[in-house]
Amino acid sequence: MRTLSDLLSEGVRGRRVLVRADLNVPLATDDAGVRRITDDGRIRAVLPTLTVLQEAGAKVVVCSHLGRPKGAPEPKFTLAPVAARLAELLDRPVAYATDTVGESAREVVGGLAAGEVALLENLRFNPGETSKDDAERGAFAAELASLAEAYVDDAFGAAHRKHASVYDVPKLLPHVAGGLIVRELEVLKQLTDDPARPYAVVLGGAKVSDKLAVINALLPKVDRLLIGGGMCFTFLAAQGHEVGGSLLETEQIGTCEDLLAAAGDKIVLPVDVVVGNDFSDDAATETVSADAIPAGQKGLDIGPESVKLFAGELAGARTVFWNGPMGVFEYRPYAAGTRGVAEAVAAVDGMSVVGGGDSAAAVRVLGLDETAFGHISTGGGASLEYLEGKTLPGIAALED
């Protein structure tokens, strides 16, 4: 796989370079009705690649998706706020195209001088980006490729998608992997090929079904698998415990029974949980034993004893992978479990990897020191699919 350094060695001054970034940042509407970015971590992550291309004199054309629009423009998914924030972080203007491959895109790209940056509108505003029809997807890719002379993929968070901008464009342009892609692959290979032991994995999030493939892939390889978040209640139900109104996938109870039987002592579950019914910062809560959840209550975080248990399991680990929050951390009464586990992961004397998605967001939202972790992934779903042993279309395209 060719990398950014290979492209730079060939010279990029005055050349148009299309950079596929992952700028899929969370947005919220403020009291004035303005859409604002609530976490700019993904924008910051691609800055090194953009900066080195700028400094080398490239005409940098950035493209990304945002959210899940259905192949047509939707105002709430415009990349306009991202363009403004990117300009602030780069400390220089960013030209913004109001379409993906249309008149605005051609005009903006055509007006770039060496060292300048442009951002195209949301790729998913064009149905060709996500089309399952090869011809439709290929036609959109050809229009994108016509805007540039070389291609850099630095969007690991989209590498598991067979989309035009990550799978088809590399077939049409000289292509290289950006620094984020290279770093992600280095870390994930460590986790799969020869992790230092003991090797512990912490999984959270809502549903067992979302993580079943990665559990099956990792269970033979890990020394401990710690399970929290909403998915833990299906495992607790598989042990015969009442879980009240907590999130429960009844159709997965048998699967969890089989996993627990096969895992021996590898799987570690919470011993207490924080219950409540109100999703707010002033919700009334109670901490109860994991085997005594009241019928009318929902488990919304792991409890303090579970945090101690998980931290103890992580204390001696040499490799840790964490994916998924321990509770509804966005609300203060249910944030302590995720915070406690995150701090325990950060304290690991070895390789600690935060597996992107909500876990990476939690690190930033809770104000934790990002530098305390060995690596914070930029791709939650892509990371999991890699660990499951799947071929990622975006990575396969770069290897051709």
**Of these residues, 16, 42, 224, 339, which one is catalytic?**
42
Is 211 labeled as ligand-binding? Answer: yes
Nearest C-alpha neighbor of 5 from the set 43, 52, 50: 52
Q: Name the amino acid, one letter, at 140.
A: F
Q: Name the amino acid, one letter, at 383.
A: S
**Of these residues, 207, 221, 308, 364, which one is catalytic?**
207
16 is catalytic: no
**Of these residues, 41, 128, 340, 381, which one is catalytic?**
381
Is 122 labeled as ligand-binding? Answer: no
Is 400 labeled as ligand-binding? Answer: no
- DSSP-assigned beta bridge partners for residue 319: 199, 351
Show the tokens assigned to 399: 């290897």
42 is catalytic: yes
> What are all long-range contacts of 35-38, with beta carbons under 8 Å and residues at least 24 apart?
35/76, 35/78, 35/81, 36/81, 37/81, 37/82, 37/85
Q: Other C-beta atoms within 10 Å of 240: how many?
A: 9
Show the tokens assigned to 118: 């442009």
Is 299 labeled as ligand-binding? Answer: yes
Is 163 labeled as ligand-binding? Answer: no
Is 390 labeled as ligand-binding? Answer: no
How far is it, in rounded angstroms, from Cα 202 to Cα 204?
7
Is 330 labeled as ligand-binding? Answer: yes
Is 359 labeled as ligand-binding? Answer: yes
Is 65 labeled as ligand-binding? Answer: yes
381 is catalytic: yes
Q: Which phi and psi angles does 357 have, rounded to 5°? A: 55, -135
Is 86 labeled as ligand-binding? Answer: no
92 is catalytic: no
Is 327 labeled as ligand-binding? Answer: no
Is 41 labeled as ligand-binding? Answer: no
Is 298 labeled as ligand-binding? Answer: no
Q: Other C-beta atoms within 10 Å of 400: how many?
A: 8
Is 67 labeled as ligand-binding? Answer: yes
How far is it, in rounded angstroms, from Cα 255 to Cα 248?
13
Report yes or no: 314 and 344 within 8 Å, Cβ to Cβ: yes
Is 22 labeled as ligand-binding? Answer: yes
* CA dihedral over 146, 149, 151, 152, signed as positive or negative: negative
Is 24 labeled as ligand-binding? Answer: yes
Is 204 labeled as ligand-binding? Answer: no
Buried/exposed 253-272: b ≥16 CB within 10 Å, e otherwise: bebbbebeeebeebbbbbbb
**Of these residues, 128, 357, 379, 380, which one is catalytic?**
357
Strand order in the sheet with 224-227: 267-268, 224-227, 199-203, 319-323, 351-354, 375-376
Binding region for (2R)-3-phosphoglycerate: 42, 124, 161
Binding region for substrate: 22-24, 42, 65-68, 124, 161
Binding region: 22-24, 42, 65-68, 124, 161, 211, 299, 330, 356-359
Binding region for ATP: 211, 299, 330, 356-359
Q: Looking at the annotation, which residues are catalytic?
A: 42, 207, 357, 381
